Amino acid sequence: MRPTQSFRGLPLGLLPDTRYPDPRIEVLDRRFTARQGNAGIERIASGFRWAEGPVYFRDLRCLVFSDIPNNRMLRWNEEDGHLSVFRAPSHYTNGNTRDRAGRLVSCEHDSRRVTRTEHDGRITVLIDRFDGRPLNAPNDVVVASDGAVWFTDPGYGIDGPYEGHAAAAELPRNVYRLDPASGTATVVADDFVRPNGLCFSPDEQRLYVVDSGISHGGPAHIRVFDVAAGRLSNGRVFAEDFAPGMTDGLRCDTQGNVWCSMGWGDPAEDGVRCYAPDGALIGKVHLPEGCANLCFGGPKKDRLFMCASTSVYALYVNAEGAQVP
């Protein structure tokens, strides 16, 4: 294994003083009550510089995620808890997802591109330029049921050497849709300060997109758009009460609830938030570390995996992740 900046990490297992119902799971609305089972928060892996981009493989019963500053991706085996290197160097990969054929799709900071890992292991570059200029540094990605690849390009990976390399942004910080048939990308949103995590509602009629622009003088909120014929319309703020912290990544469950990360602000707010489809904040999952991104997984899609700073946490919830291949 190549040298990394790894350190020992935090103790694994159920968090100390776990009892049911776990007081770290905060119910703010009766709609969230049924989401909470007799389950506690587990730290399943630790020792990363900055964990991001979780994606679950039900066929392999493993979680793949990014450790961006260490320029690697890791694989956690759900069968026995074994942790191994999945890819290094990873070109400082950030967000990951799977397309409907089960192939891994990744946002690479350092090489400033979106790639697909084929079933035989070859890596296909889906896009690295737009309008003749290099992408900034793609951050997060989701694939629609028609195969279209939707991704954000805020450029955190070119802010400095820690998560990529320093370079000037040559493109606006856009949200893109890459058409699978033509290979053509179009700008679907151009008015974000720093577009970040994104996810579809279960019926793909809505797209939620985080603006983490508070890091650069902008907002800390989630916007939602109507989706039709590969275009977005009727953009409005869906949730906006994150400052002075912010959210980064998000996923929907099959009931349309939006589960999003929370960090960078009051430590008491570190973790995950759950919003009902009407925008009401209905519950919180409190973690010991600020959370950047999350995904649903497990054989029943009911296990929430949370990439939170130096560790990955897991929690069984009474919800089923939407669009989990």
The answer to whether residue 248 forms part of the interface with Mg ion (CB under 5 A) is yes
Tokens 């409005």 label which residue? 236
The answer to whether residue 163 forms part of the interface with Mg ion (CB under 5 A) is no
Nearer to Mg ion, 62 or 199 (CB): 199
Amino acid at 246: M
DSSP 31: H
**What proportions of the chain, in percent to the nearest 5, are helix, strand and coil?**
5, 45, 50
The answer to whether residue 153 forms part of the interface with Mg ion (CB under 5 A) is no
The answer to whether residue 196 forms part of the interface with Mg ion (CB under 5 A) is yes
Nearer to Mg ion, 140 or 302 (CB): 140
Pairing of strands 271-275, 250-252: unpaired
Nearer to Mg ion, 96 or 196 (CB): 196
Sign of the dihedral defined by the CA atoms of residues 120, 126, 129, 135, in that order: negative
**Contact predicate 234/208, CB 8 Å:** no
Per the rule left: phi > 0, alpha: psi between -120 and 50, beta: everything else, 74 is beta
Of positions 70, 139, 257, 323, contacts Mg ion by CB under 5 A:
139
Listed ranges 139-147, 180-188, 270-278, 294-302: which one lies at the site for Mg ion (CB under 5 A) = 139-147
Nearer to Mg ion, 117 or 196 (CB): 196
Least distance (Å) between residue 210 CB and Mg ion: 7
Least distance (Å) between residue 44 CB and Mg ion: 20
The answer to whether residue 140 forms part of the interface with Mg ion (CB under 5 A) is yes
CA atoms within 13 A on the CB side of 60: 17
Chain positions contacting Mg ion, by CB under 5 A: 139-140, 196-197, 248
